Amino acid sequence: LYGRHAHRICAGGPRPATHGSRGTFGALTGAAHIDVNQGAVFGDADPGEVSALARFITAAGVPAIVARSRTVADAVVEPLAAAGFRPLPEREILYGTDVLPDAVASPFTVRRIASMADVAALRPIAREIHGYEPELADPLLGLRALADEGVGGWLAWEGDEAVGCAFTTRVGRTLGLWGVMTSVRHQRRGVGSVVVRAALREAASTLPGPFERTVFWASPAGGPFYASL
């Protein structure tokens, strides 16, 4: 399910490509940013599937991060090491929840991206937090959200200043969460909590039936924040 959401978000990249098998997936934007090119090895994947995933990513010529489920044996992922992948020092977290977060009172106003002015307001946040140039941030996030191509985008505002954002994908009656960013000057003020809560609740209202589940991938540092929601 997470892989299907990753395919949806990565479709807005400059050279999108997807890969899938019984126990792997790959979702690449084709941009030179490691966090927007993803793959995973899970379930009962075998070394042949992992080799195919490694070839897929290598052929694309972009940096990528590949998740390995804790259920997958060392021998299965040996093709990743042979292809030049190296383990990260900390385990990242795949979250899934069938509960929507509660709304909270806040000094910030959260609005859906609905104009080119909103897309422009996103650019400095995306550049500051992830180094995304407008040539990537606009088609991957801003313009996709504006067109509502299965991608929703929300900005948190303080007055006339955009201070944070979050993006969602829709697959059936499920949601994915992406691109949660807060301007450095406004961090630790509750912006992330407010924009994530609003984004998920409003995105759920657009699903073709009752909400079923949200899935997303978090860094170790982001784990406590998402658990608190």
- The full 3-state SS of 106-122, as one line of letters, equals CCCEEEECCCHHHHHHH
Tell me how far apart the alpha carbons of residues 63 and 75 are, in angstroms, rounded to a whole number. 23
Q: pLDDT digit string (tens) for 97-152?
A: 999 999 999 999 999 999 999 999 999 999 999 999 999 999 999 999 999 989 99
On whether the CB atoms of residues 50 and 77 are closer than 8 A, the answer is: yes
Residue 73's φ and ψ, nearest 5 degrees, are -70, 155
On whether the CB atoms of residues 8 and 151 are closer than 8 A, the answer is: yes
Distance of CA 30 to the CA centre of its chain: 15
pLDDT value of residue 98: 96
**Both tokens assigned to 49:** 């599937």
Longest dimension (CA), the chain: 54
On whether the CB atoms of residues 157 and 183 are closer than 8 A, the answer is: no
Tell me how far apart the alpha carbons of residues 220 and 179 are, in angstroms, rounded to a whole number. 16
pLDDT at position 25 over 90: yes
On whether the CB atoms of residues 77 and 86 are closer than 8 A, the answer is: no
Residue 18's φ and ψ, nearest 5 degrees, are -130, 155
3-state DSSP assignment of residue 96: strand
Distance of CA 181 to the CA centre of its chain: 11
Query: Residue 40's beta-bridge partner residues?
Result: 25, 67
pLDDT at position 177 over 90: yes
Closest CA to 155 of 188, 93, 202, 103: 202
- The pTM assigned to this predicted structure is 0.95
Determine the average pLDDT of the residues in 172-200.
Answer: 95
